[in-house]
Amino acid sequence: MELSLTQPDDWHLHLRDGDLLEAVVSHSASHFGRGIVMPNLKPPITTTAAAVAYRESILKALPANCDFTPLMTLYLTDKTSPNEIKLARNSGVVFAVKLYPAGATTNSQDGVTDLFGKCLPVLEEMVEQNMPLLVHGEVTNPEVDVFDREKVFIDTVLIPLIQKLPRLKVVMEHITTMDAVRFVESCNEGSVAATVTPQHLVLNRNSLFQGGLQPHNYCLPVLKRETHRQAIVSAVTSGSRKFFLGTDSAPHERRRKECPCGCAGIYNAPVALSLYAKVFEEAGALDKLEAFTSFNGPDFYGLPRNTSKIKLSKTPWKVPEYYSFSFGDIVPMFAGETLDWLPSSP
């Protein structure tokens, strides 16, 4: 059995920088035509000039004869100016602005502390420039349970934001709850959408603890109950145009995962398409896979769909236990396990 799909894009991707960038970029570039590249480096990508420079470093790290296009983002801070949004739009290489509530995830300490108090002029300029806001949708109040942070963010930040700026395009990234599904489904098509990761479609929070603590299944937002996983699967396999592929592939060197205070992030770039196919096949919805992987994302961003094709064949293959580099190892999602769908390069 073989599927032919319009080449997918990854609308939420961490490529890191330096040695890590050179190590991982080929895994994404071999499957995806474009990737929305997250700006949470050290220091973060807060200006258009920094985004242009980061883009050049990504292009230099790509394998020869590779057509992968990095779509850059800016890291929103309390000090971002409306003029920076104009510069970003005019650059032709910046396609969105990312909201990290301060302290929500990896390298988010420079994030926003007061969205409505300090960022409203920037958000209003984003409306004028038709620049999407990409949201890590979790509150960081330590009094809120970690498993409730997405729902509380929707109630206290997202709903008021949409009411205040109804023309702002918003992507709720890596949704993890039925609350997020209901919120996105309640919004107007074309104004609010969501990316969905492989891990939040195939794993629940038991996967963090089965057989001992599993650091390579730890990501943020953290995995949730099985009922939430089922709600997300139903949403993405329904054919709704409001949901699209965003892996949130987030590589860390093994020693930064398997340690007393391990980093959040799952490295899924090598297995993402195989896992998405598994989810849609099990739901009896393979006919809806292409829209999720290849159409809904560019349509929301107002970009052309890719014209090249990739193939997914029903060919079992074993995921490597790890990928070894000069600086250490990176352990992929589902390391050592056998997957049923094998993607080919365009």
Q: Annotated catalytic sites, by residue?
A: 12, 14, 98, 136, 174, 248
What tokens were used for 27?
């895994």
Provide the pairing of β-strand 94-99 with 338-343.
Answer: unpaired
Sequence-distant (6+) residues with CB within 8 A of 110 are 43, 44, 46, 75, 77, 100, 102
3-class secondary structure, 43: coil
Name the nearest CA neighbour of 161 among 173, 152, 170: 170
Contact 173, 246 (CB under 8 A): yes
* Residue 317 C-alpha from the chain's centroid: 25
Q: What is the torsion angle, in degrees rounded to the nearest 10, for the CA atoms of residue 79, residue 83, residue 88 and residue 91?
A: -140
Contact 177, 151 (CB under 8 A): yes
Q: What one-character DSSP code corresponds to residue 259?
A: S
User: Measuring CA to CA, how many Å separate 84 from each of 73, 124, 312, 337?
Assistant: 12, 13, 41, 45
CA gap 214, 204 in Å, rounded? 12
220-254 burial code (b ≥16 CB/10 A, e <16): bbbbbeeebbebbbebbbbebbbbbbbbbbbbbbb
Q: What is the Cα gyration radius of the chain? A: 19
Name the nearest CA neighbour of 204 among 172, 227, 234: 227
Beta strands in 14-79 (DSSP E): 34-37, 69-75
CA gap 208, 223 in Å, rounded? 8
